[in-house]
Chain A
Amino acid sequence: MRVGVFICHCGNNIAGTVDVARVAAEMRKLPGVVYATNYMYTCSEPGQEEIKQAIKKENLDRIVVAACSPRMHENTFRKTIEKAGLNRYFLEMANIREHISWIGEDKELNTAKAIDAVKMAVAKVMKNKPLYSSSFKVNKRVMVIGGGVAGMQAALDCADGGLDVVLVEKSPSIGGMMARLDKTFPTIDCSICILGPKMVDVAQHEKIKLHAYSEIDEIKGYVGNYQVKVRKKATYVDWTKCTGCGACMEKCPTRNAYDNFNFGVAPTRAINIPFPQAIPKKAKIDPAFCRQFTKGKCGVCAKICPTGAINYEMQDEIVTEDVGAIIVATGYGLFDLDKFPEYGAGRYPDVITGIQYERILNASGPTSGHILRPSDQTEPKTIVFVSCAGSRDKSLGVPYCSNFCCMYIAKQAILTKDHVPDSQSYVFYMDIRSPGKGYDEFTRRAQEDYGVKYIRGRVSRIYPKGKKMVVRGADTLLGTQVEVEADLVVLATAVVSAPGAAGMAEKLHISYDTFGFYVESHPKLRPVETNTSGVFLAGACQGPKDIPASVGQGSAAASKVQALFSKDMLESDPAIAQVNTNACVGCLKCVRTCPFQAIKEEELRNGKKVAKVIETVCAGCGVCTSTCPCGAIQLQHFTDNQLLAEVNAICQG
């Protein structure tokens, strides 16, 4: 066995605090190591060339590179040695940068630790076996979860590229948050006017299959071959018969159902179509309010429906969709008023959230676009906007900026002046954050052309005084306390992860951060990929995002799927678990512990029951190896022998 060791300086990243020459010299002393050197940038082209030359000249058959994390360059060096004729699994990397040089300043100690780390890699590489990947077919069908603007963009781009798309939306209509907005900044475009055509495109596209009012029950499989169980929730209306005429909604006697679409600004009927442009434009019964369900009698809608579409006996239906990739575009949630006891915690009807005000401004909203305050339906003249209601507030668990509130507050203040010309708006703000194309000009316009008064400071309390709401806060520029007597107060409540985001992440086997936002593969260079191959992200499920950014990510995720699907076959990673059927006693503990359901029971020809790993499903996590009581399951490339060789290398030296 002839091992070659290459120690990288990584400029000063490693050489600054590790004596790389000494590490190389120490390695030369090890049995089996016939060549060891150090080099400025091993990952550079000349660096890789040196490895190839050394393999030829010194007849090397095992390579160790001591450099950065294998997450950075393992693939680079595997390809390098493959080009020189070695099996790619005859490479080991020792991470002497992230694990050593970056975290300690004592050169002596670092060097000693680096020597140990490289020794381990040498011991392991000598036990490595050649492994070969197999290839498998890709199902070129993509699922998009979430029918907001990001998901719609992703679905349309994939479908236009010729892929079959399954779009799953939790609520009765696609459109997401954008469908609820009145206008969009900084152009004051009517939101539904620009979104509507896209929604229609989705509905009419022959390549897009839409499951509205549906949720994901279970996801099985792996990149290229996912099986997703979709729960089509009972709407109690047969959508194949419903024409969306709305007669049921008009005649429904229950007038106090909670209106999810309008965020409870006004009540709706127990059977309803969420909004005029809804897609699909179908009715749905809310059994929490419907008298047929709560009292057991009513049946008005069933009598009135001209097509006989009402079916009170309807049950949830489960359909399974096979897809090769998944784009997650599940959007975001918003803080509720109950998070703000100092602002009344929802007890004051004239303290509302930004999204509720959006519905009040909207022509198809509950007030038909007239600004009327909820308490007495009168037109407010003094409106106070409170930005950062929860955002950038560690005590509420939201240390981050919600990204788009500064902009929508400016928009709402401008629209308020348009609706009620003799009104005066005030904005309490921490900082005005408007870093986008045309954004800063827009917030300026609110102040300079629309006379919106911006007060820099936070609001400490909101309390009622007669018919007014008094907003008390600090003006930190004047260094004084201010009180504004307002008719209506709008809180820009913090953007949080969508309800159920963590559960969805667990179904998808993707990671999420402390706040429930999904984690991308790399914050700069892989913004729409996840660490689970075949699952991509788009929109605010990854973090608060405005419309242009969400649309951009939708398209980006679609292009990633196109790239993935450009191949007919994918290569599987051979570093997976393997069962030694002679040692296996068939206890099947591994079947129960495998988080990916990748192990099943198999009967051998002699009748013995053993565990069997499904190669394509196994993710190589190694849980089964540590579970197996008789060491019969071994994770390839990380076998017990290989790991023990590493342990021995540091314990015996």
Chain B
Amino acid sequence: MAEKEYAYFSGCSLEGTAKEYDTSFRLVMKTLGVTLTEPEDWSCCGSTPAHTVDHVFAAALAARNLAIVEKMNIGTLTTPCPSCLMAFKKAHLGMTEDEAFKDQVNELLDEPYEGGVISKSSLQIIYEDVGLEKIAEKVTHALPDLKVAAYYGCIMNRPPDVAQFDDPENPVAMDRVISALGVEVRDYAFKTECCGAAFGVPKRAMVNELTYKVLSMAVDAGANCIAVACPLCQQNLDLRQEQVNRAMGASFNIPVLYFTQIMGLAYGYSPKELDMDKLVVSAGPLIKTRIPIAEYRAMKEAEAAAAKKTPKAREAKEAAKTEES
């Protein structure tokens, strides 16, 4: 029996360019015993184009979906896409805090939205509602070669009074989720730095520069892959990586995975099930070394025992190493 249930708004990206995010998120939720119910007849969240034109119209697009969810009596909506999330949160806040705005928006809708839906990102429900303990419990496989830089993007945690989740400048939720899987995480300073977002089309040079900065910061921190929670971030960092290399004279070859894909790998799903082949920069070599957790633990124990037996040898080895460097 499912312990938790959410209305699941996947959004347009997850039906197309970010299909693997949708696939992996659904699998992970299955493992964690969470039921996702897709609202019937959901439509565009409004996203960026709508709110640059008209706030009432933008809110109406989002609120149409919220009104559908409200009727489902589930209470909480979850969406993996930060852009959808912002659209829902802004519409909800605007309508619950300002009666006149609410009336304006509801005027445009067939069914009014009364303010009864809480929207949370998929990262938030995993981190807060499921919890680190449960996340760790379900792990079946170790990923010993992964060194992950968690990249949150600009709007997962900001603006803080709308997002109301984690730290707006130094978020830690994704880092902790990945750590809970037993995967190594590298701390770095550009977790919320802008990737260039949708400017990849009109201002490609600018996006190249911004993406370059994020990628090099992650590499400098010793990461060999990046975890993301946003379809647009993934696209800029992964799809455009070759473009960045050409424009900036770099030679990045760093896979950019959805954090749910990393979770899926740790929960034993095959790369194929997790649509790993949809990534432009292949994560193949990094995840090839994945082994069942029991085997991994036994291996580590054997290593530790061996090291204990010959501490002097190890010391000598280390001394030789430092001399070399």
Contacts and interface: CB of A to CB of B under 8 A. Distances in A.
A345 B217 CA distance: 19
Contact of A466 (B170, B190, B220): B220
A463 B170 contact: no
Interface in B215-241: 217, 220
**Interface pairs A-B: 9 shortest CB-CB:** A341-B169, A463-B189, A342-B169, A341-B170, A464-B189, A341-B167, A345-B170, A341-B168, A463-B190
A66 B113 CA distance: 57
A465 B190 contact: no
Nearest to B169: A341
Contacts of B170: 341, 345, 347
Interface string B185-222: 00001100000000000000000000000000100100
Given A341-B170, A342-B169, 15 more contacts: A341-B167, A341-B168, A341-B169, A345-B169, A345-B170, A347-B170, A461-B189, A463-B189, A463-B190, A463-B217, A464-B189, A465-B189, A465-B217, A465-B220, A466-B220
Nearest to B168: A341
A133 to B, nearest CB: 55
Interface residue SS majority, chain B = loop
Nearest to A341: B169
Contacts of A465: 189, 217, 220
A463 B191 CA distance: 11
A466 B188 CA distance: 11
Nearest to B170: A341
A480 to B, nearest CB: 14
A464 B217 CA distance: 9
B212 to A, nearest CB: 14
Nearest to A343: B169
Contacts of B217: 463, 465
Interface residues of A, number: 9
Nearest to A348: B189
A163 B31 CA distance: 79
Interface in A284-342: 341-342
17 contacts: A341-B167, A341-B168, A341-B169, A341-B170, A342-B169, A345-B169, A345-B170, A347-B170, A461-B189, A463-B189, A463-B190, A463-B217, A464-B189, A465-B189, A465-B217, A465-B220, A466-B220
Contacts of A347: 170
A466 B217 CA distance: 10
A342 B170 CA distance: 8
B160 to A, nearest CB: 10
Contacts of B167: 341
A617 to B, nearest CB: 48
A465 B190 CA distance: 11
Interface residue SS majority, chain A = mixed
Interface string A449-465: 00000000000010111
Contacts of B220: 465-466
A463 B221 CA distance: 12
B167 to A, nearest CB: 6
Contacts of A342: 169
Contacts of A461: 189
Contacts of B189: 461, 463-465
B162 to A, nearest CB: 14
Nearest to A464: B189
* Residue of B167, B168, B169, B217 with most chain A CB atoms under a 10 A cut-off: B169
A341 B190 CA distance: 13
A92 B189 CA distance: 68
B194 to A, nearest CB: 11
Interface in A465-510: 465-466
A480 B312 CA distance: 58
Contacts of A463: 189-190, 217
A465 to B, nearest CB: 7
B193 to A, nearest CB: 8
A394 B167 CA distance: 19
Interface in B116-166: none
A465 B167 CA distance: 22
A347 B167 CA distance: 14
Interface in A321-380: 341-342, 345, 347
Interface string A147-182: 000000000000000000000000000000000000
* Residue of B189, B217, B220 with most chain A CB atoms under a 10 A cut-off: B189
Contacts of A341: 167-170
Nearest to B167: A341
A464 B190 CA distance: 10
A464 B167 CA distance: 19
A482 to B, nearest CB: 15
A389 to B, nearest CB: 14
A296 to B, nearest CB: 33
A372 to B, nearest CB: 23
Contacts of A464: 189
A464 to B, nearest CB: 6
A461 B190 CA distance: 10
B199 to A, nearest CB: 16
Contacts of A345: 169-170
A29 to B, nearest CB: 50
Nearest to B189: A463
Contacts of A466: 220
A195 to B, nearest CB: 39
A135 to B, nearest CB: 58
Interface in B39-69: none
A466 B216 CA distance: 12
A394 to B, nearest CB: 14
B289 to A, nearest CB: 30
A420 to B, nearest CB: 26
Interface string A422-450: 00000000000000000000000000000
A187 to B, nearest CB: 40
Nearest to A340: B169
Interface string B87-129: 0000000000000000000000000000000000000000000
Nearest to B187: A347
A461 B189 CA distance: 10
A520 B152 CA distance: 49
Contacts of B190: 463
A466 B222 CA distance: 12
B41 to A, nearest CB: 41
B55 to A, nearest CB: 22
A466 B189 CA distance: 11
Nearest to A347: B170
Contacts of B169: 341-342, 345
A149 B169 CA distance: 39
A461 B170 CA distance: 11
Nearest to B161: A395
A534 B167 CA distance: 47
A99 B217 CA distance: 63
A347 B168 CA distance: 15
B187 to A, nearest CB: 9
Nearest to A342: B169
A465 B220 CA distance: 8
Nearest to A466: B220
A491 to B, nearest CB: 15
A342 B193 CA distance: 11
B227 to A, nearest CB: 19
Interface in B289-325: none
B216 to A, nearest CB: 9
A342 B192 CA distance: 10
A464 B170 CA distance: 13
B252 to A, nearest CB: 17
Nearest to A469: B189
A573 to B, nearest CB: 49
A464 B168 CA distance: 18
A523 to B, nearest CB: 34
B221 to A, nearest CB: 9
B190 to A, nearest CB: 7
